[in-house]
Amino acid sequence: MTEFVSLSVDEGVGTIRIDRPPMNALNRQIQGELLEVADEAATRADVRAVVVYGGEKTFAAGADVKEMASMSYADMTLVARKLSAGLGAISTIPKPTVAAVTGFALGGGLEVVLGADRRIAGDNVKLGFPEILLGIFPGGGGTQRAARLIGPARTKDLIYTGRLVKADEALAIGLVDEVVPADEVYTRAVAWATQFTAGPALAYAAAKAAIDNGLDTDLRTGLDIESALFAGVFATDDAKAGTASFVENGPGKATFTGR
């Protein structure tokens, strides 16, 4: 039973909710709970798409600094990989995922956001990696995921300066994909996720794996990954139903079961 991270499901959309007032500081317990809940979302058949949300006021204001302040090099070497896994847990869900971001998403909070397939932000957001002001740097996936998303130069600027980015700049540099009024963030994220709840779940998972795994390697290897996954989807019921429906009735009329 988790204390600060929960999963609720409504008509195929699972909401992973981080709830540790007042600022959702991501301590080691939450990092573990994110892993647990992400695994649940990944394996539950009634979850077809996922929203990760920190609430109306703020997404997450980073890792729990008080918890880290007394840690030595030896201490951190024992938990650094677990920290990275916990803050990156959303990226392991083989389903469409979207982060609904309000208020602050800083440090570890931004790293959680970067693990989603899409980022919908409120017009009140402030995003950034302020770790450098503590004499450290992002260690939960930020250096890698941000660099792949917005490029190394922009990532270095954010990490070196520790500055905070508001909604308009975040949209301009591609750190978020959409900006809406703050009170519409969750509704908009659910609407985005809902379009996939009746879709071919295994094809979504394969497409996601092809993109994510391909980014980690060279083009030739990426194309081989794509080919293997593409061939694999032809073993699914949805591929048979989808292609047959297209031939008989035209595009967009297939009924998928997610199998």
The residues carrying an active-site annotation are 111, 131
Q: Coil, strand or helix: which one is 177? A: coil
Who's near 3: CB < 8 A, 6+ residues apart?
29, 33
Cα-based angle 16, 108, 3 (whole degrees, multiple of 5): 40
User: Phi and psi (nearest 5°) for 60?
Assistant: -170, 130
Q: What sign for the dihedral angle of Cα 236, 205, 99, 1?
A: positive
201/140 Cα distance (integer angstroms) = 28
Judge whether 116 and 89 are in contact, CB under 8 Å. no
Report which of 30, 45, 86 is spatially closest to residue 258, judged by C-alpha positions: 45
Amino acid in position 232:
G
